């Protein structure tokens, strides 16, 4: 059973010291939850970085390629639907973030995470991986204020969207390419008509309700 999907790249340069981490896909009813970690190159500024939700899909895709080409280091990881259902979406998100950070090979002093929580495993592993004076910090709305987090949000979002486009090829009757797994009216109507498929999150309320109603 596949439990994680990851993509990474590391530059030989190691002058940047800050890792930005963000996630994508906590809310949808289907598919994996993704996270990305990015170290930007302060000598190669990328224009237009911001919270991925504020960008068009076309702009996100364009920026994602620029980030991958110009960042000092980046890594994208995920936690599977099976993991989400087994340990819950919050813990699966923390797991995906930890995996993304673990894929960063460039030495760094600081880890900045979007949100209000720091993954427990990441905190436990920090002393052996960061330089002296290491720091990890959760920043609410960090994707609006920290460029590295904004870059991570773009990589996580585009990777998750790519997964949903691929899943749309496997399960075309659900319309995943349109709603990306979110609980839209269209998606809920498809679930009501067809029932959930293997990549639906059975621990999420709409899916759980359907399964309970059909088993009673």
C-alpha torsion sign, points 142, 145, 149, 150: positive
Q: What pLDDT score was predicted for residue 216? A: 58
Crossing angle of helices 185-194 and 205-215, in 10° steps, is: 20
Residue 24 contacts residue 157 (beta carbons within 8 Å): yes
pLDDT at res. 154: 97
Q: Look at residue 111 in the predicted model and tell me its pLDDT.
A: 92
CB 29 within 8 A of CB 201: yes
Q: What is the pLDDT of residue 77?
A: 98
Q: What is the 3-state secondary structure (H, E, C) of 154-179?
A: HHHHHHHHHHHHHHHHHCHHHCHHHH
Q: Which residues of the chain have pLDDT under 70?
A: 1-16, 126-134, 215-216
* Structure token digits, residue 117: 């929580």
Residue ranges of domains in the chain, CATH in brackets: 7-168 (3.30.420.10)
Specify the DSSP element, H or E, that contains 65.
helix 57-70
Q: According to the model, what pLDDT value does residue 122 have?
A: 80
pLDDT at 103: 95
Identify the pLDDT of residue 213. Answer: 86
């Amino acid at each position: 059973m596949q439990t994680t999907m990851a993509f990474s790249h590391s530059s030989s340069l190691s002058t940047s010291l800050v890792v930005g981490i963000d996630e994508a896909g906590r809310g949808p009813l289907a598919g994996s939850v993704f996270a990305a970690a990015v170290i930007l190159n302060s000598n190669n500024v990328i224009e237009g970085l911001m919270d991925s939700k504020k960008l068009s899909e076309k702009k996100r895709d364009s920026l994602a390629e620029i980030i991958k080409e110009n960042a000092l280091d980046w890594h994208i990881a995920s936690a599977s639907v099976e993991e989400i259902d087994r340990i819950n979406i919050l813990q699966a998100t923390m797991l995906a973030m930890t995996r993304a950070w673990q894929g960063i090979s460039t030495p760094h002093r600081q880890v900045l995470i979007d949100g209000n929580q720091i993954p427990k495993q990441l905190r436990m592993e920090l002393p052996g991986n960061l330089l002296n004076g290491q720091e990890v910090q959760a920043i609410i709305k960090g994707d609006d204020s920290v460029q590295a987090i904004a870059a991570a949000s773009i990589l996580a979002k585009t990777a998750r969207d790519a997964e949903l486009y691929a899943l749309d090829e496997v399960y075309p009757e659900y319309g995943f390419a349109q709603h990306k797994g979110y609980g839209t009216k269209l998606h809920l109507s498809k679930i009501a008509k067809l029932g959930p498929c293997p990549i639906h999150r059975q621990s999420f309320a709409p899916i759980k309700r359907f399964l309970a109603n059909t088993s009673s």
